Structure 1
Amino acid sequence: MRVGEQSTDPIDQVLGEVPLPAPLTPEDVRLAVRAVVVHTAEEWPTGPLCRNDGASYPCRLHRWGRRVLETHGLNERQIEALIRHGNPFVHVPFPFTATGPSAARPAGYSAQAARTNGLTARHPAARVVPPGVRPTTPGRPVTPPITAPRWPRAS
């Protein structure tokens, strides 16, 4: 069965497709990467099966992961590269703009999030102080380093 086709697995007929999240979040993209990498095809005499759950390939989670990554802006070649890489924890930037904006990207995606890379605004960086000079601002006291170990020595 090809990736875009509907499954003939009885459980897939009962449960249907996993729905896509309305606004994609970085967590959805992380889970989609894990889904496509963990639920890859494994060749068996009866045909390709999902490596994780033994369902006919592509299983529900693999198809969901592909749809999420395509919505996120990855093309087929990039998704196949993720699968070949084999690391389910590989980082995919959010928002993904390497191949341009996806027409399927949900309306919840804002231009302000693109300017800040989806991160919250941070405070200005602290002033760099040369070594040996301590800032005079009040703060937590710094404990001196311990010179002797706290645990008893084995003899």
Structure 2
Amino acid sequence: MQSIDEVLGELPMPPYVTAEDVTFAVKAVAVHAAEQWPDGLRCRNDRAPHPCRLHRWGRRVLDQRGLTNGQIQALIAEQDASQR
């Protein structure tokens, strides 16, 4: 049986990465974070093997925007703090 990632393929990138795209990408990376399972890392949101489609899309958008890992982690922390 094929995985959902193989069937659906990658999410398309926006033609131009806007500030709104960055907001969505940070949310995708935060919500679709890795979680340890007995069979390995899985997405904590949809239980797909990590990194799932939305996590990969978010990272590609943030990479295209030129953000470093440290900047991405800071944005995720900022988002988490604003939701409390």
Pairwise TM-score range, normalised by the shorter structure: 0.7 to 0.9
The AA in structure 2 aligned to 1:51 is R
The more displaced of 72-81 and 57-66 is 72-81
CA separation in 2, counterparts of 1:22 and 1:89?
30
- 1:75 is aligned to 68
CA separation in 2, counterparts of 1:53 and 1:33?
17
Residue 19 of structure 1: how far off its partner (Å) = 1.0
> Could you report, residue by residue, the CA deviation over 1:51-94 in whole angstroms, capped at 9, with x for unpaired residues?
111110000000000000011110133224444x273587xxxx
SS at match of 2:45: coil
The TM-score normalised by the length of structure 1 is 0.47
More helix by share: 2
- 2:11 is aligned to 18
Structure 2: runs of 5 or more not aligned: none
- C-alpha change, 1:13 and 1:89, in structure 2 (3 Å) is farther
Structure 1: runs of 5 or more not aligned: 1-8, 91-155
SS at match of 1:24: coil
Over the aligned positions, Cα root-mean-square deviation in angstroms equals 2.1
The TM-score normalised by the length of structure 2 is 0.83
Length, aligned pairs only? 81
Structure 1 or 2, whichever has the larger Rg, is 1
Bigger relative contact order, structure 1 or 2, given CA contacts below 8 A and separation 6+?
A: 2
Q: Does 1:56 align with 2:16?
A: no
The AA in structure 2 aligned to 1:41 is A
CA separation in 2, counterparts of 1:61 and 1:31?
10
CA separation in 2, counterparts of 1:87 and 1:72?
18
SS at match of 2:20: helix
**4+ residue segments displaced more than 3 Å:** 80-83
